[in-house]
Copies of this chain bind each other. A is one copy, B any other.
Amino acid sequence: MAAEGYEGVLVYFGCAGWLKRVYKKVEHEVIEMVKMTKSVGRDPRRIIHSIKVALAITLASFFYYFKPLYDSFGASAIWAIITVIVVFEFSVGATIGKGLNRMIATILGGALGFGTHYLANLCGDKGQPLILGALVFVVAAIASFMRFFPSMKARYDYGLLIFILTFSMVAVSSYRDDEVLKLASDRFLTIVIGSFIAVSICIFVCPIWIGNDLHDQLVNNVENLATFLQEFGAQYFRSSQGVEQVNKASMHKYKTILTSKQSEESMANLARWEPGPRKFGFRHPWKQYLNISSSARECAYRVRVLDVYLENNDQIQIESQFKEEFLRMCKESAKALKEVAMAIKKMAPPALASAHIERAKATTENLSSLLANHRFEGLEMIPTATLVSLLIDLLCCIEKVADCTRELGCVANLRRGESLGAVVPAADQDLINV
């Protein structure tokens, strides 16, 4: 009895311990989940997007709730709900792109599917599945291959998928279903309605324009480069009397530029679907944005090397006469970049950037003459010489960013002029084709 009681106590404590561990684990998971939700929800647009999606689905499901609507489409109404869910994306550009792709591909795929159906019908009962199978095979293979074409992949990948889907559905199901024409036309109509609901809610309820995002991201990228140069100058070249706190976090924001190429390219592709009720038009020169972005990325590579070089060699002594020139150079380069960022923001040529770049160039000349006349001991000159080379190299890159921005400003001005009916000067015509 005593032994049994002892075992019971053991089991009790064993269970209690196990329950406690499970409780702790669940508590930990819940806390993690809450933290994650908070951090994801910090961007209120995500919450708004989720509500918009739910709203669009609810709207589309009225096809079921209201008898008159249900009577006209029947079970095909489910395609409206499916379309809303599949087409609704975060940004207006992506939603319009998917909606148009889906509608056009459904029409084309459906039409070709019918053609195949009639062709197969001519071949009698035995030949029909053979002809159908062969044609579906060939069309599916060709369309799948076309999805690899870069120009197709960028904008019409989803359309090609839906084309294969609709074509196969219509062609194959026509073999068993005689009412396939009615079904397909109902399906097309409900897809149009679903796309319309998705696109309307996406545009008219707190729209998120991917073009704006790309624009802001580019401005931020250039500003982050400027911030780096400012803080970098303050950290390494400020004379000892003026001690200022350096903000490491904002200094390292430039790192996102290093790897942003793919996301920017896809943003530019999506932005091309967006209509022009906002500040950008349909023919906004998004390609020029990518040019600016790739020259900003070249700056970022130099900045990265500069950053790590001084982080690894923080005991470096640089003489104060050089420090002053370096500080001036960093300041002028940062000002030029800020000017460029402002110009991108306004889509105008960066008027004052060249002046800052010229001043920065003047300091490089001062630095060169200081270097030429200075007597260094041993290896002393390595860091100074390296910094001079890297900063001159960076300045070249900054100049390229300014040039690209100037082109963007000119093209944007021309476009604006065109849309106002102004005459485009012949000499600037080639800029439009950039």
Chain B proximity mask over A129-164: 1 for CB below 8 Å, otherwise 0: 100110011101110110011110000000001001
Query: Which stretch in A46-54, A331-339, A416-424 binds the other chain?
Result: A46-54
| Closest-CB distance, A56 to chain B (whole angstroms) | 9
Would A129 and B393 count as touching, CB distance under 8 A? no
* In the complex, residue of chain B having the shortest beta-carbon distance to the beta carbon of A53: B144
Would A393 and B309 count as touching, CB distance under 8 A? yes
A304 to B173, CA, bound (A): 56
Would you call A12 an interface residue if the criterion is a C-beta within 8 Å of the partner chain's C-beta atoms?
Answer: no
Chain B proximity mask over A336-349: 1 for CB below 8 Å, otherwise 0: 00000000000000
A309 to B172, CA, bound (A): 61
A69 to B175, CA, bound (A): 14
| Closest-CB distance, A95 to chain B (whole angstroms) | 13
Would B168 and A57 count as touching, CB distance under 8 A? yes
* In the complex, residue of chain B having the shortest beta-carbon distance to the beta carbon of A81: B168
Chain B proximity mask over A80-103: 1 for CB below 8 Å, otherwise 0: 011001100000000000000000
Would you call A70 an interface residue if the criterion is a C-beta within 8 Å of the partner chain's C-beta atoms?
Answer: yes
Q: Copies per complex?
A: 2
- CB-CB under 8 A from A390, the residues of chain B are 305, 386
- CB-CB under 8 A from A393, the residues of chain B are 305, 308-309, 312
Would B383 and A381 count as touching, CB distance under 8 A? no
Would you call A65 an interface residue if the criterion is a C-beta within 8 Å of the partner chain's C-beta atoms?
Answer: yes
Q: Identify A169's interface contact among B47, B81, B141, CB under 8 A.
A: B81
| Closest-CB distance, A184 to chain B (whole angstroms) | 12
A36 to B151, CA, bound (A): 10
Contacts A78-B169, A172-B64, A173-B64; is A381 near B381 (CB within 8 Å)? Answer: yes
Query: Which stretch in A258-266, A274-282, A352-360 binds the other chain?
Result: A258-266
Which 4 residue pairs across A and B have the least CB separation, nearest first?
A385-B385, A54-B141, A386-B389, A50-B145
**A–B Cβ pairs within 8 angstroms, 5 of them:** A57-B164, A78-B173, A301-B305, A302-B305, A382-B388
